[in-house]
Chains A and B, each alone.
Chain A
Amino acid sequence: MSKYARFAAALALGTGLAMGASGPAKAETPKKGGILNFIVAAEAPSYDGHKESTFAMVHPTRPFYSLLIRVNPENPSSPTDFICDLCEGSVPKPTDGGTVYTFKVKKGVQFHDGQVLSAQDLVATYKKIIFPPEGVSSARKSFFTMVESVTAPDDETIVFKLKFPSGAFIPALATPFNYTYSAKDLKEHGYDWHEKNVNGTGAFKFKEAVAGSHVEGVRFDNYHVKGLPYLDGYKALISRKMAIRVQAIRGDRAAIEFRGFPPKQRDDLVAALGNEITVQESDWNCVLLYTPNHGRPIMQDPRVRRALTLAVDRWGGSQHLSRIAIVKTVGGVVYPKHPMAATKAELVRLDGYGTDLKASREKAKKLLAEAGKAGLEFELLNRGTDQPYKIVGTWLIGQWRQVGMKVTQRVEPTKSFYNSLRKTKNFDVSMDFNCQSVINPIGDVSKYIGSAGNNYANYKGQDQELEDIYAKLVQEGDEAKQREIIRVFEKRALSDMAHEGITLWWYKINPHRSYVKGWKIAPSHYLNQSLDQVWLDK
């Protein structure tokens, strides 16, 4: 069918662009000028990056600011490639046994209001993030628990001293929320000023915002990277409904949406517009889980929980669901493209990952019968968001039906969903997810230990063995050994005890107007959004 041929061609073009090393993307000379219209699915509560944790703030405001270091925009798919943004040269190696990081601050960097950046501004920024004064909110304070002090021996140098060596420090530093503010602004206007006001060193200046409608940025002529940005400006348009977001790109009211579209919408856009649409795709550092509530008697028996995971056809689901939902990759506890992640050979040894579906489901039925729970009935709590929660939830119910379980679904909007998950704990099994910006496996897998703040399965204090394995992992310095420990951890958490069930990893799909160039998909919708390299081929 021509529809699919066109789609394949567009996908090939997109992949070429995403790989970036060679091909047409590199050969083209960027054109200057133009306004980029893009869609954002929600409205940010404020513009203060240190306070918020939503992409709805990152997409419209990240271009106003710079970071100390950032993910390499030429190679955003790599989980380990960071470059200097406000520092000179390359990202420094630590000294003093891995506890001291010294950065040289880039010279001649200007804020939008004309102030010149010095190391003092970075110190003030990181002090706000890491050691916020009483009553000042900092969402990612806990990312920096290893930091002992931040100082500036002179105006061109900033030094981070750590309490202990940590591989998690550099990824934390590259987190896109660490907007650099000026020390003068913080001192004169207070710590809340950046919630509603903008003064950064980014490629674009704040122009206008209308609540609920849009945010506009305009080119900053004194941007610290010479020759950039290419765009004259951009406009971030808010649109709450998926159908409208897709139609906006189809009708060219916007050129791109940076979070991600479902596969069906990608196919529809390509079918309607052919090579006017370019598709970029990537694995996504978000994983959709289901969480059995260990506080409920029916979920206390590990055999029941193992039956839950054994009933799920992940390899088949990967094929079917990836046609209708933003999930695709079968994986364990680690982001599938990271070197620490389990290979397929390692995965199939886990319950519910085997390739013989029939055998798995027989085993599930047997375990249920042994536990005296054949024909188990329960309710699945889900979050009232179509993609991917409700679609995957409905799919899971169908999977469990195959082993004789009767499952109903209770969907709650975000606000009460978290209330049920955290406070009332009023659920049998719930959908759950883990979604981070910079990939950091050792930090990310803490989700699966019972004592973690974002673990909602209620087995705190019930599995010391798992806690011990994790403690060993954090203390281990050697990467190969870390990988081995993670395998043991994974088998216990997902298979032997089946504390949590992983469904599938998310899959990011960004179909956009082909005239948008210079933007490369990253494994997270938080990353690579400074827009300074983006240009329009019109």
Chain B
Amino acid sequence: MGKYILKRVLLMIPTLLGAAILVFLLLRMAPGDICAVRFLGTGMAVAEDQIQLCREQLGLDKPQIIQFFDFVWGYFIFDLGNSMWTGQPVTHEIAIRFELSMQVAIMATIVATVIAIPLGILSAVRQNSMTDYLVRGFAIAGIAIPSFWLGLMIILGLLIVTQSWFGEPWMPPIQFKSIWEDPAHNLAQLVWPAVATGYRYSAVATRMTRSAMLEVLREDYVRTARAKGMVEKIVINRHALKNALLPVVTILALEFAFLMGGLVVTEQVFNLNGLGNLMVDGVERQDFTMTQNLVMLVVIIFVFTNLLTDLAYAWLDPRIRYS
């Protein structure tokens, strides 16, 4: 097992380095610069020398190889540099938004789990029945509806419904408050994006639960249990579900990792001050330091989640270690 862990950890190094190079190059190849955005985007006349001054102050006139070295070296000395837009440390900017993104990811994963597991089981147990079709239709619709559209409709629906019921239109708060500070305010804001994304992400997990259950239900020991005349419910709960859950948990874990940074569009729609929004801002402003570190953060979270699930698999199923 120790050897397997070592091998998996070592394999992460080329992935992370490759990702760093890819991000760095993609950003530098994009046309435009942050100083033009800062001074020209408003339509006021600003002298060219001021733009040049801005570039010098941000170190954009340094050779790219030095910029890349600074970027990677930052990870070894725990100094990721400052955002080129606000001038604040990148770690500070990320820390402000981390709690929100984390919470939405957790809540969305809970919503996805609550939807996916019962529906997936139901669908598998009643394979090819009307129930199965309905569940699968519901799940696929979750992937098919664009999340930003769903978001806009949820907010508009809330405004219209509350106005016709209570006379005053209500919308979720648009400023984040920590759940420890003001739980009611916090949940009133975050429950909507969590439901919208949770539903969306439940689709894959529902299908996974269904196919894993179908597979397990065909296994010999389940057939034996059935043949012995055990009650269907017990068969499902005691025997089938336990074994079917592993791949489902994996899927949920990986989706959680994606949710941490992948809520780009949803955060825009619900005006959430999270990592996804920071990423969009960073890309739009050509804020190199911010964007490259943020993308790397998402990649690192994802790669580590992957590592953990692989290790969990290997631990549960010794065959994998030797393959």
| Residue A102 at the chain B interface, CB threshold 8 Å | no
**A237-B175, A253-B171, A415-B32 known; A137-B53 Cβ under 8 A:** yes
In the complex, per-residue mask of B70-103: 1 if CB is within 8 Å of any chain A CB, else 0: 0000000000000001111000110011000000
**A137-B50, A251-B159, A413-B284 known; A420-B31 Cβ under 8 A:** yes
The residue that B277 contacts in the complex, of A138, A240, A250, A414, with Cβ under 8 A, is: A240
| Residue A272 at the chain B interface, CB threshold 8 Å | yes
| Residue B45 at the chain A interface, CB threshold 8 Å | yes
User: Which residues of the partner chain A approach B280 to less than 8 Å between Cβ atoms?
Assistant: 240
| Residue A451 at the chain B interface, CB threshold 8 Å | no
A46 touches B86 (CB 8 A): yes
For the complex formed, measure the closest distance between the CB of B270 and the CB atoms of chain A, giving whole angstroms. Answer: 8
The residue that B33 contacts in the complex, of A214, A241, A413, A415, with Cβ under 8 A, is: A415
User: Which residue of chain A has its CB nearest to the CB of B39?
Assistant: A53
A43 touches B175 (CB 8 A): no
A149 to B234, CA, bound (A): 91
For the complex formed, measure the closest distance between the CB of A242 and the CB atoms of chain B, giving whole angstroms. Answer: 11
A-B contact count (CB 8 A): 156
B268 touches A240 (CB 8 A): yes
| Residue B18 at the chain A interface, CB threshold 8 Å | no
| Residue A78 at the chain B interface, CB threshold 8 Å | no
| Residue A55 at the chain B interface, CB threshold 8 Å | yes
| Residue A351 at the chain B interface, CB threshold 8 Å | no
User: Which residues of the partner chain B approach A43 to less than 8 Å between Cβ atoms?
Assistant: 85-86, 281
A419 touches B32 (CB 8 A): yes
Residues of B6-49 contacting chain A, CB below 8 A: 30-34, 36-48
| Residue B300 at the chain A interface, CB threshold 8 Å | no
A52 to B92, CA, bound (A): 22
| Residue A15 at the chain B interface, CB threshold 8 Å | no
In the complex, per-residue mask of B257-301: 1 if CB is within 8 Å of any chain A CB, else 0: 000000000001111010001101100111000000000000000
A415 touches B170 (CB 8 A): no
User: Which residue of chain A has its CB nearest to the CB of B155?
Assistant: A247
| Residue B173 at the chain A interface, CB threshold 8 Å | yes
A140 to B261, CA, bound (A): 39
A210 to B86, CA, bound (A): 12
Residues of A208-262 contacting chain B, CB below 8 A: 210-214, 235, 237-241, 243-244, 247-248, 250-254
The residue that A212 contacts in the complex, of B57, B163, B273, B286, with Cβ under 8 A, is: B273
A211 touches B156 (CB 8 A): no
A418 to B42, CA, bound (A): 11
User: Which residues of the partner chain A approach B93 to less than 8 Å between Cβ atoms?
Assistant: 211-212
For the complex formed, measure the closest distance between the CB of A39 and the CB atoms of chain B, giving whole angstroms. Answer: 8
User: Which residues of the partner chain B approach A433 to less than 8 Å between Cβ atoms?
Assistant: 43
Residue of B53, B57, B159, B270 with most chain A CB atoms under a 10 A cut-off: B53
Residues of A125-150 contacting chain B, CB below 8 A: 135, 137-142
The residue that A213 contacts in the complex, of B47, B168, B273, with Cβ under 8 A, is: B273
For the complex formed, measure the closest distance between the CB of A236 and the CB atoms of chain B, giving whole angstroms. Answer: 11
A240 touches B271 (CB 8 A): yes
B284 touches A415 (CB 8 A): yes
In the complex, per-residue mask of A262-293: 1 if CB is within 8 Å of any chain B CB, else 0: 00000000001100000000000010000000
Residues of A403-455 contacting chain B, CB below 8 A: 413-420, 422, 424, 433-437, 446-447, 452-454
Interface residues on A, range: 35 or more
B38 touches A210 (CB 8 A): no
| Residue B176 at the chain A interface, CB threshold 8 Å | yes
User: Which residues of the partner chain A approach B284 to less than 8 Å between Cβ atoms?
Assistant: 413-415
Interface residues on B, range: 35 or more
A453 touches B38 (CB 8 A): no
B277 touches A139 (CB 8 A): no
A196 touches B87 (CB 8 A): yes
B156 touches A415 (CB 8 A): no
For the complex formed, measure the closest distance between the CB of B41 and the CB atoms of chain A, giving whole angstroms. Answer: 5
Residue of A139, A235, A420 with most chain B CB atoms under a 10 A cut-off: A139
A453 to B41, CA, bound (A): 15
| Residue A477 at the chain B interface, CB threshold 8 Å | no
A16 to B36, CA, bound (A): 40
| Residue A195 at the chain B interface, CB threshold 8 Å | yes
A139 to B46, CA, bound (A): 6
A142 touches B47 (CB 8 A): yes
A281 to B292, CA, bound (A): 42
| Residue A23 at the chain B interface, CB threshold 8 Å | no
User: Which residue of chain B has its CB nearest to the CB of A143?
Assistant: B45
User: Which residues of the partner chain B approach A142 to less than 8 Å between Cβ atoms?
Assistant: 45, 47
**A240-B271, A419-B31 known; A247-B159 Cβ under 8 A:** yes
B174 touches A244 (CB 8 A): yes
| Residue A45 at the chain B interface, CB threshold 8 Å | yes
| Residue A80 at the chain B interface, CB threshold 8 Å | no
A435 touches B269 (CB 8 A): no
| Residue B312 at the chain A interface, CB threshold 8 Å | no
A240 to B274, CA, bound (A): 13
Residues of B131-175 contacting chain A, CB below 8 A: 152, 155-156, 158-159, 163, 168-171, 173-175
The residue that B175 contacts in the complex, of A213, A247, A422, A454, with Cβ under 8 A, is: A213
User: Which residues of the partner chain A approach B175 to less than 8 Å between Cβ atoms?
Assistant: 213-214, 235, 237, 253
**A211-B96, A213-B176, A247-B171 known; A415-B37 Cβ under 8 A:** yes
Residues of A452-501 contacting chain B, CB below 8 A: 452-454
B42 touches A53 (CB 8 A): yes
| Residue A322 at the chain B interface, CB threshold 8 Å | no
A212 to B163, CA, bound (A): 30
| Residue B54 at the chain A interface, CB threshold 8 Å | yes
User: Which residues of the partner chain B approach A210 to less than 8 Å between Cβ atoms?
Assistant: 96, 176, 273
For the complex formed, measure the closest distance between the CB of A452 and the CB atoms of chain B, giving whole angstroms. Answer: 8
A127 to B268, CA, bound (A): 41
A286 to B44, CA, bound (A): 10
User: Which residues of the partner chain B approach A446 to less than 8 Å between Cβ atoms?
Assistant: 45
Q: Which residues of A contact B (CB under 8 A)?
A: 43, 45-46, 52-55, 135, 137-142, 195-196, 210-214, 235, 237-241, 243-244, 247-248, 250-254, 272-273, 286, 413-420, 422, 424, 433-437, 446-447, 452-454
What are 8 A-B pairs with beta-carbon distances under 8 A?
A: A54-B41, A210-B176, A240-B268, A240-B280, A244-B270, A247-B159, A272-B159, A414-B284
Q: Which 4 A-B pairs have the closest CB atoms?
A: A251-B171, A435-B43, A415-B32, A416-B32
Supplied contacts A244-B269, A253-B171, A437-B44, 5 more A-B pairs, CB within 8 Å: A53-B42, A135-B57, A212-B96, A414-B284, A419-B33
